Amino acid sequence: MEAEATLASPSVEPYIGRPSQGSLARIRRMPVRPPAVVYVPRSRVEWANRLLNILLAVVALIVLSPVMLLIALLVRLSSPGPILYTQQRVGVNRRRRPTQAIYDRRAQDAGGIVFTIYKFRTMQNDAEQSSGAVWATTNDPRVTPIGRILRQYRLDELPQLLNVILGDMNVVGPRPERPTIFADLRTRIADYPIRQRTRPGITGLAQVSNAYDASLDDVRKKVSYDLEYLEKQSLVEDVRIMLRTIPVMLFKRGGW
């Protein structure tokens, strides 16, 4: 377990900006394990999918704006630091889409397009100053009292509706990971990069089927769910996952 302690799960919340030059250099040097099989996700009409996701995100922002304003106020009053935190995550891998000519193939391959994700801050502002990137745990002392409630009900993810409108994410899809963590995981889990063949999501099949990650085996389980989603991805499947997300939020399933 100590050898894996440098990994961070999607639940870990350090307050950082862009990856450092040293981190990017390590990404370039890390060998990438090829996937066990050649995997082709189910195709769908991308423009229609994007239009639907933008519509859903806009409606959700309008409906949930009073809730989000209340959360923002509680975060501000409960602990010093910003209301939102931003973090770099790895998005869709457009290198596998030849029609995307605007994407520079000569650029650094981080596994996908690196974008800035938005969340409500749930941890102390200096949560990882001494510990570095570690897995979040039950009763994690770094989590603020308000942050604990937000994490249990997954309300800290609501600002990612902005990411959906910006085109970084879909409402449903695999959860995005940090560039340095992604670079590590793709050397340990052969099929991990396949997740990047679609936009990441706020919720996903892995999130409604499993709790937060606590070990590398948990990540492997979630990858299997992500690949299952890619095989089934469709409007019907997205609606089904959205409906399954509601009880996960209401009954605090898998959150801490």
Residue 225 covered by a domain = yes
Considering the domain boundaries, does residue 72 fall inside one? yes
Q: Does residue 142 fall inside a structural domain?
A: yes
Q: Which residue has the higher pLDDT, 41 or 172?
A: 172
**Amino acid (one-letter) located at 246:** I
Is 255 domain-assigned?
no
Q: Tens digits of per-residue pLDDT, 213-222? A: 778 898 999 9
Domain assignment of residue 113, yes or no: yes
At 63, is the pLDDT very low, low, confident or very high (cuts 50, 70, 90)? very high
255 — pLDDT class (breaks 50, 70, 90): low
Neighbours of 77 (CB within 10 A): 8
Q: Could you read off the pLDDT of 2-12 as tens digits, one per residue?
A: 333 334 333 34
Q: Is residue 19 over pLDDT 80?
A: no
User: Residue 217: inside a domain, yes or no?
Assistant: yes
Number of domains in the chain: 1
pLDDT in tens, 72-118: 999 999 999 999 989 999 999 987 554 444 444 545 667 899 999 99
> Is residue 129 within 8 Å of residue 198, measured between CB atoms?
no
DSSP 110-170: -SS-EEEEEEE--B-TTTTTTT-S----TT-TTB-HHHHHHHHTTGGGGGGHHHHHHTS-E
* 130 or 124, higher pLDDT: 124
Q: Looking at residues 139-145, what average pLDDT do you find?
A: 79
Any domain includes 174: yes
Q: In the predicted model, what is the mean pLDDT of residues 177-204?
A: 94
pLDDT tens for residues 212-249? 777 889 899 999 999 999 999 999 999 999 999 999 88
| Lookup: tokens for 234 | 């469709």
Confirm whether 23 is domain-assigned.
Answer: yes
Inter-helix orientation angle 216-232/235-250, to 10°: 140
Predicted confidence band at 252 (pLDDT cuts at 50, 70, 90)? low
> What is the predicted pLDDT for the residue at 160?
98
Query: Cβ distance 62 to 180 under 8 Å?
Result: no
**Which domain does 115 fall in, by range?**
2-250
So what's the pLDDT on residue 94? 81
